[in-house]
Chains A and B, each alone.
Chain A
Amino acid sequence: MKKQNDWQLWVLLLPALLYFFVFCYLPMYGIQIAFRDYKAVFGILGSKWVGLKNFSDFFSTYYFARLLGNTFLLNIFGLLWGFPIPIILAISLNQIEHPLYKKLVQTSIYIPHFISTVVMVGMLYLFLSPSNGIFNKFIGMAGGAPIYFMAEPGWFRTLFIGSDIWQHAGWSTILYIATLTGIDPELYEAATVDGATKGQKIWHIDIPHLMPIAVMMLILSCGSLLISNTDKALLMKTAANSARSDIIGVYVYEMGLGKAQFSYTAAIGLFTNVINFITIMIVNSVSKKLNETSLF
């Protein structure tokens, strides 16, 4: 194309570049307060350098092990349960032959994804209420004593991950379904001629086709092992379940915005960012070796 029109491309790019500058790069510049003792009156540049003090404060706090453990376990369990389910759903959905039934199933499994986190957590409170929630009604009918689900630390992870799967697993199938839809039908026909069963077709055709995209999704989720859905955890946290619901994101919100500990919590944010970045790099290079699939 003509080179002299390049300026028009820059005009089209400008709003996006500006957006990333203001909302991504400016905050990166602000990360330096993690190494300073930020005082609003002095501004970012005027505040005193304190080196790694904020980091060592975090590592030595009583909460450190609990926060790190809770955050990591919540995410790793979430990944272990949540990652395979969409793949299984997509393969299984792909086997439904009746078009109308398939459509009904597909439409239904997407719906919960469109519910907000606030509503999702509200549903948990309503359904799990010890006095009139439906779960405790059923437990009562079966002769059991009511369970205070939202106040029981032992239930926190199960509820958090379970409701996440209920809400988003169906939606997460969309990429896998799109991939399966793109498989050349001749492959299945050839397999049928060779006498393959449905199970064999899944094993030898579907799964190998899904692998690259699955690995990519896995890499991406490994990059957030210390980043949880903070707003959901904030909504689900009660004083009684804090032994499990105290996670890094919630702590940063409470200490940073609630108690104005800006430098201290900026350090925590930077720490999680670095850990996540290292994790994603390691997983990416391992998968590159094993699989020849990688992000970059």
Chain B
Amino acid sequence: MAARGVQVNKANTDKVFDRINLIFWVIVLVAILYPLWLIIVASVSEPDAVMMGKALLWPVGFSWTGYQAVFQHKQLISSYANSIFYTVSGSAISVAVTMMAAYALTRKFKGKKGVNLYIIITMFFSGGLIPQFLMNRTLGLYNTVLIMIIINGVSVWNLMVARTYISSAVPNELYEAAAIDGADHFIYFFRIVLPLSGTIIAVLAVYYGVARWNDYFTALVYIRDRAKLPLQTILREVIATLTTSTSDADFFSAYANDSHAISEAIRRAQVAKYCCIVVSTVPTVALYMLMQKYFVKGVLIGSLKG
């Protein structure tokens, strides 16, 4: 093993390895980023160029018409506001409830085993869509704003990650020191645990926030009122259906009396689909970018003990 020639060979193998690895990642990055780039390019190109499939690398004939159409689409704007409201209030509640329960589960108390079991069971058994639907309807949650905020409120997985994080980030000595001053659990939680849990709170906020912002199934099942619909449901009408006629109608309803304006609006609606994608995705990606530095650390500490 220690012979010189072998050493040199090994250094060479490593160089080859690095080169292959580099090529591999260039391919992966292009595969991931090109479709995203294509969406952005199409969203600011001339509608005709997009429809001909010409805007493949750079915007062709820069224009904002698609974005103008998006911002004139009343239902889209109000659903956007709904989504912001559902996401912010829902995630705030989820994070708070998760953190409180996670802290409690790091401490010793009578009945803790039972509580753990009670929570874990829900990971393996569930009522299923239909019993869940019937129960929520019986509770009067059907077609309410409330269901959009509290359904999917606590994820067991997130709860476990938060619990592991708290038990490793908060040393026992801190509790003992505070106990001497007569602290109780509320004081531990608010004065000691929360100030030390910035990382995991950020991670939870992103997990819950993104899931809520992107959720379209809940509204599909529970919401009938168009005024309460979240963004994703409207987006589906605009971009994710093969038949574009109904969604396009919203884009050109304003010009209903002018046939020239209608054809212009239909043309615009094609590009508007790309603009919708950009406008709806910016918040989640921005949130991720802001919180990025917390992720690996949060997951690392949270997963230590599984």
Binding site for B on A (CB under 8 A): 1-2, 5-6, 8-10, 12-13, 15-17, 19-20, 22-31, 33, 38, 44, 89, 92-93, 95-97, 104-105, 107-112, 114-119, 121-123, 125-127, 132-134, 137, 150, 166, 170, 174-175, 177-179, 181-182, 194-199, 213, 216, 223, 230-231, 234-235, 238, 249, 252-253, 256-257, 262, 265-266, 269-270, 272-273, 277, 280, 296
- Give the CA-CA distance A265 to B127 in the complex, in Å: 11
- Give the CA-CA distance A216 to B216 in the complex, in Å: 29
Output the nearest chain B residue to A115 by Cβ-Cβ distance. B281
CB of B294 to closest CB in A, whole Å:
12
- Give the CA-CA distance A133 to B285 in the complex, in Å: 25
CB of B271 to closest CB in A, whole Å:
11
Q: A8 contacts B100, CB within 8 Å?
A: no
CB of A196 to closest CB in B, whole Å:
8
Which residues of chain B are within 8 angstroms of A277 by Cβ–Cβ distance?
Answer: 124-125
CB of B96 to closest CB in A, whole Å:
8
Additional A-B contacts beyond A20-B119, A95-B18, A150-B242 (11; CB < 8 A): A1-B175, A12-B101, A15-B97, A15-B100, A16-B100, A27-B131, A27-B134, A44-B134, A122-B235, A132-B52, A195-B7
Output the nearest chain A residue to B287 by Cβ-Cβ distance. A114
On whether A121 and B299 interact (CB within 8 A), knowing A6-B110, A269-B130, the answer reads no
Q: B296 contacts A8, CB within 8 Å?
A: no
Q: A179 contacts B186, CB within 8 Å?
A: no
The stretch among B32-40, B70-78, B251-259, B261-269 that forms the contact with chain A is B32-40
Which residues of chain A are within 8 angstroms of B85 by Cβ–Cβ distance?
Answer: none
Q: B285 contacts A199, CB within 8 Å?
A: no
On whether A256 and B281 interact (CB within 8 A), knowing A1-B107, A122-B240, the answer reads no
Which residues of chain A are within 8 angstroms of B236 by Cβ–Cβ distance?
Answer: 118, 122, 235
Output the nearest chain A residue to B235 by Cβ-Cβ distance. A118
Which residues of chain A are within 8 angstroms of B150 by Cβ–Cβ distance?
Answer: 19, 23
- Give the CA-CA distance A150 to B242 in the complex, in Å: 9
| 5 tightest Cβ-Cβ pairs between the two chains A and B | A27-B127, A269-B128, A30-B131, A116-B214, A122-B239
B246 at the interface (CB under 8 A from A): no
CB of A184 to closest CB in B, whole Å:
14
B89 at the interface (CB under 8 A from A): no
Output the nearest chain A residue to B222 by Cβ-Cβ distance. A257
On whether A24 and B97 interact (CB within 8 A), knowing A30-B127, A116-B216, A230-B217, the answer reads no
Which residues of chain B are within 8 angstroms of A118 by Cβ–Cβ distance?
Answer: 214, 216, 232, 235-236, 239-240
Instruction: Report the interface size for chain B: residues with CB under 8 A from the other chain.
Output: 100
Which residue of B52, B56, B128, B295 contacts A31 across the interface (Cβ within 8 Å)?
A: B128
Q: A178 contacts B128, CB within 8 Å?
A: no
Q: A17 contacts B118, CB within 8 Å?
A: yes
Q: B239 contacts A125, CB within 8 Å?
A: yes
CB of A275 to closest CB in B, whole Å:
12
Which residues of chain A are within 8 angstroms of B7 by Cβ–Cβ distance?
Answer: 195
Q: Which of A9, A22, A25, A150 has the most B CB atoms < 10 Å from its CB?
A: A9
Which residues of chain A are within 8 angstroms of B18 by Cβ–Cβ distance?
Answer: 95, 97, 198
Output the nearest chain B residue to A89 by Cβ-Cβ distance. B28
A-facing mask of B4-46, CB < 8 A → 1, else 0?
Answer: 0011001001100110010011001101110110110000000
B177 at the interface (CB under 8 A from A): no
Which residues of chain B are within 8 angstroms of A170 by Cβ–Cβ distance?
Answer: 32
CB of A245 to closest CB in B, whole Å:
13
B151-209 interface with A by 8 A CB criterion: 151, 153-154, 159, 175, 179, 184-186, 189
Q: A9 contacts B134, CB within 8 Å?
A: no
Q: B109 contacts A9, CB within 8 Å?
A: yes
Q: A1 contacts B239, CB within 8 Å?
A: no
B96-133 interface with A by 8 A CB criterion: 96-98, 100-101, 103-105, 107-110, 115, 118-120, 122, 124-133
